[in-house]
Structure 1
Amino acid sequence: MDRRRFLQLTASSLAMSGSGIASSVAQAQWPTKNITMIVPFTPGGSTDILARLIGQRFTEAWGQGVVTENRPGAGGAVGSVALARSPADGYTVGMGHIGTLSVNPSLYSNLQYDPIKSFAHISMLARVYNVLVVHPSLPIKNVREFIEYARQNPGKLNYGSGGNGSAAHIATAAFMVATGTQMTHVPYRGTSPAVADLLSGQIQFMMTGGPAVLPHARAGTMRALGVSGPNRLKSDPDIPTIAEAGVPGFDATQWYGMMAPTGTPDDIVTKLTKEVHGALGSKAMQEALERDGAEAWPTTPQEFRDIIASETKRWAEIVEKAKIKVE
């Protein structure tokens, strides 16, 4: 090897080494600027509320702002694709939930992200029970009366959701399969406008995450009939579960998790997971979640992936039984 070639190779090696060192230092100092949190739904829904709670904790812990970026559309697929295609540098994270990670694969044949392969999974965040709420004008006081009314008036009850294929849409479809009822779906571009139309009486009921509707139920502007999970809410123990109120075994629980784009450095994912677990373990966060009818659910990244896989199988069966089509 001649002297000139040797010097070229040596310079190149040093440059690469220096780049690696600089990268390691940058990761060790992370974060040094604001973090973007992609929420694949409109503001005001359960996913958005939870994202902002976690984002506040990150800001307090690291002194860097967390900018919430709402990217709704196609049952959360638009925001999920945006997250998957973001730079894997630790400065973009995002929210996923039962719909985007375990229901959408059964609904969209051309889904442009893979719930497992497209993301670096950080941790599950919370379980949120759906709450069946009706407009106070309906002559209905409990789940049994609701089922009977729906059977006597097939197709006449209109329910809202955050969009075709959303968790609220699928949960209500599962309820109809379980009860042999027929009701009309009115999809919205997000949970908040659906809640607004329920408050005004434009639609008659919803089954959606507690954070979006419990404050209205407590205020008396909606009537809460039942909770979709296996247990009553600690925050609202007077609301029975749908299972005990007339539909044995019924369970349609929403869940939420945090991811980053695949390829995000492992040490940053580990730091994010640790901070999420710290947030979920704090008394203040647990009380905030409880007020919204949610419960903390910290997991390892691998446990998160395992849950996605098992839930995808479960909801594929429900989508098939309910004959749900969104394309």
Structure 2
Amino acid sequence: MTIILHRRRFISTTCALSSAIALPALAQAPAPYPNRPITLVVPFPPGGSADGAGRAMADRLGKVLGQPVIVDNKAGAGGAIGSAMVAKAPPDGYTLILTSQTTHVVNPAISPRLPYDAVNDFAPITLIERLANVLLVTPGLPVKNFAEFVKYVKANPGKLNYASSGNGSVAHLNMELLKAKLGLFITHIPYRGAGPALTDLMSGQVHMTWNNLTTNLATIQAGRLHAMAVASPVRAPQLPEVPTFDELKLPELNLTSWAGLAAPAKTPEPIIAKLYDAMRGVLRDPQTQDAWRKRGAMVPEDVKPAEYRKEIQQRIQFFRNIVKTHNIVLD
């Protein structure tokens, strides 16, 4: 009997010790993602189209995920500062970046010394929106449509100029491509950002620019800027009289811009999948779709992470070819 009692005490003690050892392991099990606020880095200043897209998306994404998504503007060097910061962030899903044509297409297409690799340093998630680009002219220019615009520019070689948001920007490359395709002589005036360029365009200090429709829809509708053509799959419903570049037999210029969402490379696949699914839920919401239309943006098609990576790679090569083929020199 004594032996049986001792054995029972030993078994009871062993079980208690095992339970005590197991408790800390259970307590340390991570909570499901996300369990704290997420930072969305927008690598541009507040007030622009990228910032607007980021803030519109962040609020909606936070509601779907059940955690706030906080926008952090890290501007500078054409988006390179904020992009490099996210590239080096922990790949845990709590630091994301709003990607754009500038940061993830044009910058890597023209600059061999970027502090980040636009393809390999990030895990693409999906597109947030597509944006129609538009060729804009100051109201003082005596042209009413694209044909008149081309005729007037050719009749005044070297007398006209165009503004861009900086050397190597989307506006710069697209305007240089337009010049090369049509044999136009227009002087480039780079600005430190799209805002000052658009201000001078409206006042007539510069003659034209290339910019996205979202930023300029209100000023076009108010007659403060005139649209000559749009880069869009179909005519913009807000500007039904303005033709696309496809219609004008300039398909190379008919690429939309976009804003997207990405995480640092090596972010676990389950986190990427959860963010992708959450974004699909956001973009399928009729209220989101209505808000995007009012901003002049297009709700994108369902772009999976691998498809988004492929589009980034293809567009980098597209713009590299433009620079090489048309001998575009960055001032």
Scaled by the length of structure 2, the TM-score of the pair is 0.85
| Aligned residue among 127, 137, 140 for 1:137 | 140
Matches within 5 A, 1:74-89: 74-89=77-92
Cα drift, residue 249 of structure 1 = 6.0
Matches within 5 A, 1:85-124: 85-124=88-127
| Aligned residue among 317, 325, 330 for 1:313 | 317
Unaligned runs of 5+ in 2: 1-20
Question: Aligned with 2:132: secondary structure?
Answer: strand
- 2:296 is matched with 293
Q: Could you tell me which amino acid in structure 1 is paired with residue 306 of structure 2?
A: Q
Matches within 5 A, 1:123-272: 123-245=126-248, 247=250, 250-272=253-275
Distance (whole Å) between structure 1 residues aligned to residue 251 and residue 112 of structure 2: 33
1:309–1:61 distance in 2 versus 1, CA, 3 Å = same
Distance (whole Å) between structure 2 residues aligned to residue 256 and residue 85 of structure 1: 21
CA contact (8 A) 1:195 1:212 kept: no
Distance (whole Å) between structure 2 residues aligned to residue 163 and residue 83 of structure 1: 23
Deviations 1:236-290 (A, max 9, x none): 2222213324646641321221111112232222121111111111112222222
Distance (whole Å) between structure 2 residues aligned to residue 170 and residue 188 of structure 1: 14
Corresponding position: 1:25 with 2:27: no
Distance (whole Å) between structure 1 residues aligned to residue 252 and residue 266 of structure 2: 40
Question: Aligned with 1:133: secondary structure?
Answer: strand
- 1:323 is matched with 327
Question: Aligned with 2:321: secondary structure?
Answer: helix
Distance (whole Å) between structure 1 residues aligned to residue 180 and residue 217 of structure 2: 25
Deviations 1:157-197 (A, max 9, x none): 22222222222222222222221112222223322222222
1:292–1:245 distance in 2 versus 1, CA, 3 Å = farther
Q: Greater CA deviation, 82-91 or 208-217?
A: 82-91
Cα drift, residue 136 of structure 1 = 0.8
Q: Could you tell me which amino acid in structure 2 is paired with residue 25 of structure 1?
A: P
Deviations 1:292-318 (A, max 9, x none): 332222311101111112212211111
Distance (whole Å) between structure 2 residues aligned to residue 37 and residue 129 of structure 1: 24
Unaligned runs of 5+ in 1: 1-13
Distance (whole Å) between structure 2 residues aligned to residue 145 and residue 249 of structure 1: 21
1:89–1:176 distance in 2 versus 1, CA, 3 Å = same
1:137–1:246 distance in 2 versus 1, CA, 3 Å = farther
- 1:10 is matched with none
- 2:308 is matched with 304
Scaled by the length of structure 1, the TM-score of the pair is 0.86
1:31–1:135 distance in 2 versus 1, CA, 3 Å = farther
Which is greater in Rg?
2
CA contact (8 A) 1:123 1:273 kept: yes
Cα drift, residue 64 of structure 1 = 3.5
Deviations 1:41-90 (A, max 9, x none): 23333222211111121233345333322233333222211221222222
Question: Aligned with 2:30: secondary structure?
Answer: helix
Identity over aligned residues, as a percent?
Answer: 38
Distance (whole Å) between structure 1 residues aligned to residue 143 and residue 210 of structure 2: 15
Question: Aligned with 1:304: secondary structure?
Answer: helix
Cα drift, residue 132 of structure 1 = 1.2
Distance (whole Å) between structure 2 residues aligned to residue 278 and residue 179 of structure 1: 43
